[in-house]
Amino acid sequence: MKKITSLHLDVLKEIGNIGAAHAATSLSGLLGKKVDMRVPKVEMVDFTDMMELAGGPETVVVGIYLRIEGDIEGSMFFILPVEQATSLIRRLINDEQFEFSQKPEFELGLSAMQEMGNILSGSYLSALSDFTGLKIYPTVPGLSVDMFGAIISIGLIELSQIGDHVIVINTTIYEDGCCGREEVRGHFFLLPDPNSFEPLFKVLGVT
Enumerate residues 6+ apart whose C-beta is below 8 A from 180.
none
Closest CB to another protein among residues 94, 102: 102
Chain positions 57 to 76 lying near another protein, rule: CB under 8 A, are 57-58, 60, 65, 67
Provide the minimum distance between the beta carbon of 136 and another protein in the complex, in angstroms, as a whole number.
Answer: 16
Residue among 24 and 61 whose Cβ is closer to another protein: 61
**Is the CB of residue 168 less than 8 Å from the CB of residue 45?**
yes
Question: According to the binding rule CB under 8 A, does residue 164 interact with another protein?
Answer: yes
Q: Distance (Å, rounded) from C-alpha 113 to C-alpha 106?
A: 11
95: Cβ–Cβ under 8 A, 6 or more apart, which residues?
A: 108, 109
Number of CB atoms found within 10 A of residue 168's CB: 27
Q: Least separation, in Å, of the C-beta of 195 and another protein? A: 10
**From CA 206, how far away is CA 202, in angstroms rounded?**
6
CB nearer to another protein: give 119 or 154. Answer: 154
CB closer to another protein out of 65 and 98: 65
Q: Which is nearer to another protein, 25 or 57 (CB)?
A: 57
| Euclidean distance between CA atoms 173 and 33, whole angstroms | 13
Of residues 8-27, which lie at the interface with another protein (CB under 8 A)? none
Restricted to residues 103-162, the positions that interact with another protein (CB under 8 A) are: 139-140, 142-151, 153-154, 156-158, 160-162
Residue 204 in contact with another protein, rule: CB under 8 A = no
The DSSP secondary structure of 66-100, one letter per residue, reads EEEEESS-EEEEEEEEHHHHHHHHHHHHT-TT--S
Q: Using CB under 8 A, list all residues that contact another protein.
A: 51, 56-58, 60, 65, 67, 102, 139-140, 142-151, 153-154, 156-158, 160-164
